[in-house]
Amino acid sequence: MNLCNINVIRSLMEDAGISFRKEFGQNFLINPMVPEDIADMCCDREDSLIVEIGPGVGCLTDALARRYERVVAIEIDKGLIPVLEKTMAEHENVTVINADVMEVDLAALVEKYSEGRPVSVAANLPYYITTPILMRLLESGVRFSSITVMVQNEVAARLCSKAGSKDYGAITAVLGYYGETRRLFRVPAGCFLPAPKVDSAVIRIDLYSAPKYQPKDEKLFFSLIRAAFEMRRKTLVNALSAKLPQLSKEAITAAIVSLGHPETVRGERLSTEDFVRLADALIQ
Nearer to ligand SAM, 88 or 282 (CB): 88
Stretch that binds ligand SAM, among 51-59, 108-116, 182-190, 234-242 (CB under 6 A): 51-59
**Residue 24 in contact with ligand SAM, rule: CB under 6 A:** yes
Fill in the per-residue mask, 120 to 139: x = in contact with ligand SAM (CB under 6 A), - = not in contact: ----x-x--x----------
> Which position among 12, 43, 49, 60 is part of the footprint of ligand SAM (CB under 6 A)?
60
**Residue 181 in contact with ligand SAM, rule: CB under 6 A:** no
Query: In sequence order, what DSSP letters do the residues of the chain get, joined into one string?
Result: --TT-HHHHHHHHHHHT----GGGT--EE--THHHHHHHHHS-S-TT-EEEEE--TTSHHHHHHHTTSSEEEEEE--GGGHHHHHHHTTT-TTEEEEES-TTTS-HHHHHHHHHTT--EEEEEE--GGGHHHHHHHHHHS----SEEEEEEEHHHHHHHT--TTSTT--HHHHHHHHHEEEEEEEEE-GGGEES--SS-EEEEEEEE-SS-S---S-HHHHHHHHHHHHHTTTS-HHHHHHHH-TTS-HHHHHHHHHHTT--TT--GGG--HHHHHHHHHHHH-
Task: Give how many residues touch ligand SAM by CB under 6 A.
Answer: 22
**Residue 242 in contact with ligand SAM, rule: CB under 6 A:** no
Stretch that binds ligand SAM, among 99-107, 155-163, 236-244, 272-280 (CB under 6 A): 99-107
Measured CA distances, 22 to 5, 16, 31, 128, 250 (Å): 20, 17, 20, 10, 50
Nearer to ligand SAM, 136 or 261 (CB): 136
Question: What residue type is assigned to position 273 of the chain?
Answer: E
Nearer to ligand SAM, 72 or 207 (CB): 72
Nearer to ligand SAM, 11 or 209 (CB): 11
**Residue 87 in contact with ligand SAM, rule: CB under 6 A:** no
Stretch that binds ligand SAM, among 24-32, 224-232, 249-257, 269-277 (CB under 6 A): 24-32
**Residue 59 in contact with ligand SAM, rule: CB under 6 A:** yes
In whole angstroms, the minimum distance from the beta carbon of 233 to ligand SAM comes to 33
**Residue 202 in contact with ligand SAM, rule: CB under 6 A:** no
Sites of contact with ligand SAM (CB under 6 A): 24-29, 53-56, 59-60, 74-77, 100-102, 124, 126, 129
